Amino acid sequence: MNFDDRKFVLIAAVLFVCAVFVLRLFYVQVIDDQWSKKAANISQRTVTVFPSRGLVYDRKGRLLTANTPVYDIMVVPREVKGLDTVALSELIGVPMADVRKRLNEAKTYSTYKPSIFEKQIPADQYASIAVHLHNFKGFYGQSRTLRTYPSHVAAHMLGYLSEVDARKVEQDPYYKSGDVIGVGGIESYYEKELRGKRGVRYMLVDVHNNMKGRFKDGMYDTVSVEGKDLYTSIDLDVQALGERLMKGKKGSIVALDPKTGEVITLVTSPAYDPELLVGRVRNTNYKVLQKDSLNPLFDRALQAQYPPGSIFKIVQSLTALQQGVITPNTGFVCNKALVGCHNHPNAQSVEEAIQYSCNPYFYQVFKRIIEQDKDPNRFKDAAIGLADWREHMLRFGLGEKPALDLPALKGGSMPGVQLYDRMHGKEAWAFSTIYSLSIGQGEVLVVPTQMANLAAIFANHGYYVDPHVVRAVGHPDSVLTHFKRHDTGIDAKWFDLVDEGMRRVVNEPGGTARQARIDSITVCGKTGTAENPHGQDHAVFIAYAPMEDPKIAIAVYVENSGFGGTWAAPIASLLIEQYLNGKVQRPEVVKKMEEADLISLEKNFVKKKKAPRRRR
pLDDT tens-digit profile of 497-542? Answer: 999 999 999 998 878 888 999 998 999 999 988 777 677 788 899 9
Q: What is the pLDDT of residue 86?
A: 92
Q: Quick one: average pLDDT of 94-123?
A: 88
Mean pLDDT of the chain: 87
Q: What are phi and psi of 196, to 5 degrees?
A: 75, -155
How does 342-361 read in b/e, with b if 16+ C-beta sit within 10 Å?
beeeebebbbbbbbbbbbbb
Angle value at C-alpha 295, between 293 and 296, nearest 5 degrees: 130
| 383 has a pLDDT exceeding 60 | yes
The yes-or-no verdict on residue 178 having pLDDT over 90 is: no
- Choose between 19 and 229: higher pLDDT: 229
pLDDT in the model for residue 16: 67
C-alpha 499, offset from chain centre: 31
* pLDDT at residue 213 in the model: 66
Please determine, for residue 606, whether its predicted confidence score (pLDDT) is greater than 50.
no
- Local confidence band at 436 (pLDDT 50, 70, 90 cut-offs): very high
Of 24-28, 52-56, 90-94, 317-321, give the lowest mean pLDDT range: 24-28
Greater confidence (560 vs 190) lies with 190
Res 152 pLDDT > 90: yes
Distance CA 151, CA 23 (A): 69
Ordered domains of the chain (ranges, CATH) = 41-69+142-232 (3.90.1310.10), 236-289+299-603 (3.40.710.10)
Q: Please report the pLDDT score of residue 110 as a whole number.
A: 85
The whole-angstrom separation of Cα 440 and Cα 442 is: 7
In which region does residue 213 sit, left (phi positive, over 0), alpha (psi from -120 to 50) or beta (all else)? Answer: left
- Confidence at 418, pLDDT banded by 50, 70, 90: very high
Q: What is the pTM of this model?
A: 0.84
The reported pLDDT for the residue numbered 438 is 93
Query: Do the beta carbons of residue 185 and residue 176 sit within 8 Å?
Result: no
Residue 37 pLDDT class (50, 70, 90 cuts) = very low
